[in-house]
Amino acid sequence: MFNRIISAIKFLFAKEKELYVFIHGITGFYPLNIDFYKLALVHRSMPVKTSNGRWANNERLEFLGDAILDAVVGAYLYHHYPTKHEGFLTSTRAKIVQRESLNRIGREFRLESHVRASSHSSSHNSYISGNAVEALIGAIYLDRGYETCKDFIEKKIIAEHLNINELIKTEQNYKSRLIEWTQKYRVTIEFQLIDTMNDSDGNPIFKTAVLLGGIYAADGSGYSKKESHQGASRKAYERLKSDKIFREQVLSTALS
């Protein structure tokens, strides 16, 4: 109750009333500290200067939200599917937190329309909405704590924007397919950032290699590390299917 009163008082005198209303429409509550949410909507292409003089964007909040999302979804699946094995839980979680799912949810929240980003990045980076969802989760955690954040993920994301039974039936993304394959055959998997570069407009491009059993499998590039992981995973997965000699080399590294 006290938090609600404080939120209402802050809202009455807030300069960012539109943002307060927008966040309330998504979460069901008004922010206690609006600065977390403002930062969650700042893409790296248009950083803002903080009160301490540093330039900042939403990538740190995205990192935090990603970790919390994984934990909450993992616990949710563990309790809701008590008879399912670890492989099912892993693949289902991957489908829920994959870029495609988060991007769709971000669009349904209309997050991209409030994200501060360069027009070039908005048109070239297909993950802005999904990344903003993770940053929003990080902001909620810092503003309201774990339990409120957990309720938001379970009630506003899973219950209202995901059909898990339908999601279970769909094909996984390539990274989750590759991870599931390595778990099945007890092969180690590692993603290594091997290069970063900039496009003609200065936007960073990441190049990542994937190693299976310590053996180079493929590499991929993208405007985010996650996008480069997907590209490398797709090439590696297809190589396992088409290159018998490579597949046997990888399988020979299986853990006993």
Q: What are the catalytic residues?
A: 66, 134
Place of tokens 């930062």: 39
* Residue 35 to residue 109: CA distance in whole angstroms: 19
| Token pair 């394959």: residue | 181
**d(Cα 179, Cα 90) in Å, to the nearest integer?**
9
Could you tell me which residues are beta bridge partners of residue 197? 205
Cα separation of 5 and 14, whole Å? Answer: 14
CA–CA separation, 131 vs 99, rounded Å? 8
- For the record, the structure tokens of 96 come out as 């829920």
- Give the C-alpha separation, 219 to 209, whole Å: 4
At 187, list the tokens: 């092969």
| CA distance linking residue 126 with residue 118, whole number of Å | 13
Q: Which two tokens stand for residue 138?
A: 């990080």
CA distance 256 to 253: 9
Q: Is 71 exposed, middle or buried (0-12, 13-18, 19+ CB in 10 A)?
A: middle
Question: What letters, b where the CB count within 10 A reaches 16 and e where it falls short, cover 33-47?
Answer: ebebbbbbbbbbbeb
